[in-house]
Homo-oligomer: A and B are copies of this chain.
Amino acid sequence: MTNFAATKAMFHLPEGVLYLDGNSLGPLPKAAAARVGTMLQDEWGDLLITGWNKAGWMAKPTDLGDRVGGLIGAEPSSVVMGDTLSIKVYQAVASALELNPTRKVVLSDNGNFPTDLYMADGLLRSLGDDYELRVVDPEAVADNLTDDIAVMMITEVDYRTGRKHDMKALTELAHARGIVTVWDLAHSAGAFPVDLAGCNADFAVGCTYKYLNGGPGAPAFIYVAPRHMDQVRPALSGWLGHESPFAFDLDYRPGSGIERMRVGTPPVIQMTALETAMDVWDMADIQDVRTKSIELTELFISEIEAACPMLTLASPRDPHARGSQVSFRFEEGYAAMQAIIARGVIGDFRAPDIMRFGFTPLYVDEADVRAAVAIIADVMTNNLWDQPEYKVRNKVT
């Protein structure tokens, strides 16, 4: 059984803050500053260029890939870190399309995070006018898995509402229609158990700065099912995905296995911070995290609904149908969230009217939830948000 008091003690949580935004940016692992400092001084500083070998920098993308893979049900050597989620979406969709060359349609839903749609759209424009990005309502995905579709590109958990797709069922249905799947796990990895291998998923991507706590701008990851590995030609064919990068051949030959999804020089400092975050995961069981997350979200919903009748639940009521966040709709949600943040409860706002709260058992406990509810209820029932200062929209996140 995971000792959540122990994992909570591994994070720096500022005094006076109740942090319900770990679904956007996880907090600082206490070990990060010292470890990154050591990496800078002892590795970059003293080893200089030889750090690529002597300090294992070159292997970090696959070493960390295996650690992240352990949380998402990936086979060993099927996950590699690098770039941003947007870039990894591009690689995954481009590669998936090549596995299904007679079809020209990518299906997604309008609950997907916009960058996935933007990247796919940009890719399809490059490929030609006969390609199509088809975007349907989230509830209509299953019915739209027709046999003209090459790739189904779906984010498992809706970033606004927390609604969770059924990965196993949709993947099976897609495969039955000859469709290759790309799953975006941005709001899944570290939030609940994911079983990529068990679901027979084809490609998956995700970021590591949300529930995995890797820090601002932490690298993304990409998963390729081992059965596809040798057939995949990476669209973004960078030198570190080459079979022999340091031969400096003029022609590209994809590297073996998941290594071919590497592109350029990996961000060693960011990966070092991420390592300290993954050390916390070594102490946690992801199934325990899910169980606790459901307890916390159920508590939050029942308390908020009792205290704040003006808020409308936007997340699914069935805990198994949502990720690890809870969202409420409120017309003045932007101002309300600013007032709540000003009082030390950090959640976030998503246009047009979503107030979003993330629940992360590694460092958020029942007492935190009750304390946060008290503050939110005070703001909402006393209309404390109705101040001009809270209505100025100058925030970028």
Contacts and interface: CB of A to CB of B under 8 A. Distances in A.
Interface of A: 12, 14, 17, 19, 21, 24-25, 27-28, 32-33, 36-37, 40-41, 44-46, 48-53, 57-58, 83-87, 90, 94, 110, 113-115, 117-119, 121-123, 126-128, 135, 207, 209, 215-220, 234-240, 242, 245-252, 263-271, 273, 341, 346, 348, 350-351, 394-397
Q: How many copies does the complex hold?
A: 2
Contact of A217 (B49, B247, B267): B267
B264 A396 contact: no
A363 to B, nearest CB: 11
Q: Top 6 A-B pairs ranked by shortest CB distance?
A: A84-B264, A115-B239, A217-B267, A86-B238, A122-B237, A86-B264
Contact of A87 (B83, B113, B341): B83
A346 B27 CA distance: 39
Given A48-B21, A110-B250, A217-B266, A118 B242 contact: yes
Contacts of A216: 44, 51-52, 57, 265, 267-269
Contacts of A118: 237-239, 242, 252
A215 B57 CA distance: 12
Contact of A41 (B28, B41, B44, B51): B28
A113 B248 CA distance: 8
A220 B49 contact: no
A201 B46 CA distance: 38
A58 B396 contact: yes
A234 B45 contact: no
A58 B25 CA distance: 14
